Amino acid sequence: MGDSCVEAKLSDTTSARSGYLASAKDEGSMKFSVPFTNYDFYAYLVSGLAVLVAWDWALGTAELLRADIPWPKVLVIGVLAYVLGEIIASLSGFVIENLSSHLFRHPKDELWADENQKKKYKIRWFGRYYQPLTNRVRAIIDSKLGRSFPEFGEMSIGDRYECVYAIVRRDSDTAARLEESRNQYALARNISMAALLNIPVFAIAYLDIEKRGDAELLFGLSLLIFGGMWLRFMKFYSTFYAQAFRAYLADGADSNRKQTSAGLVET
């Protein structure tokens, strides 16, 4: 891919950082920017805590299930859960995301597949965002990219997406929607990974006769959470990629409307 997309991406990153710092500066009470979001709390802390509690129960200590845990200990548990959540996030990216992309076509490839070709796996649970773009829509996107980037003829599907993503993120509303979709699919992916890690823990706990009933229930619940959150991950994952292409189309439509309106005003 040529330098044009790289320059667009660098410009997009700089603009996003400048906008974030400007918004932080506008907050009179803020002396510095805090880089944490709701995603950091839910995706890291909750998934890490879920695994900690499961292991604590399986080992027979059940310290984390007590109601009278002292505050210093609560703080230590929170830090441990957050760190563990970071590790789970790395594992989930490697296991859940990569495995899903190998079992099924990556959303970028699926969106760009010929609409007349048979899909690798016919699963409709992922929603309409996992359906291929029509041939006409792909032709419009290619036409727009060809006018913007001289290197268009050498672009792969990944290159197309990188260019489209860098362009549409310049709009703050679109950038916010994309970030929300990214957070949603990452949250679902991490919780799915946490449930997957808990499945063997409860399977081992099942060997203990005293815990057998609870372990059986928790094993089934973990299996259900893993499958359900994996499906949610696939939905939000495909939505994230589809939104970028559709925002690129909408941007072109808005530009055409503005040009038409300007021409009518001049006449």
| Range among 118-127, 132-141, 233-242 with highest mean pLDDT value | 233-242
Q: Which of 93, 15, 85 is nearest to 49 (CA)?
A: 85
User: What token pair was written down for 210?
Assistant: 């005293």
Rounded distance, CA 174 to CA 153, Å?
A: 27
> Is 14 a residue whose pLDDT tops 60?
no
Burial class of residue 207 (count of CB atoms within 10 Å of its CB; 0-12, 13-18, 19+): exposed
Least confident of 16-20, 138-142, 205-209, 243-247: 16-20
Tens digits of residue pLDDT in 158-188: 888 888 898 998 898 989 888 888 888 899 9
CA quadruple 186, 125, 247, 117: dihedral positive or negative? positive
Q: To the nearest 10°, report the CA torsion of 71, 76, 79, 82.
A: -90
Q: What is the pTM of this model?
A: 0.73
Query: Nearest 10 degrees: CA dihedral of 161, 241, 88, 188?
Result: 180
Exposure of 249 by Cβ count < 10 A (0-12 exposed, 13-18 middle, 19+ buried)? middle
Could you give the CA distance from residue 222 to residue 55 in angstroms, rounded to a whole number?
A: 13
Asked if 60 and 18 count as a contact pair (C-beta separation under 8 A), the reply is no
120 vs 25: which has the higher pLDDT: 120
Poorest-pLDDT segment among 77-86, 113-122, 224-233: 113-122
Q: What is the pLDDT of residues 82-124, one digit of tens each?
A: 999 999 999 998 899 888 877 777 777 777 776 655 554 445 5
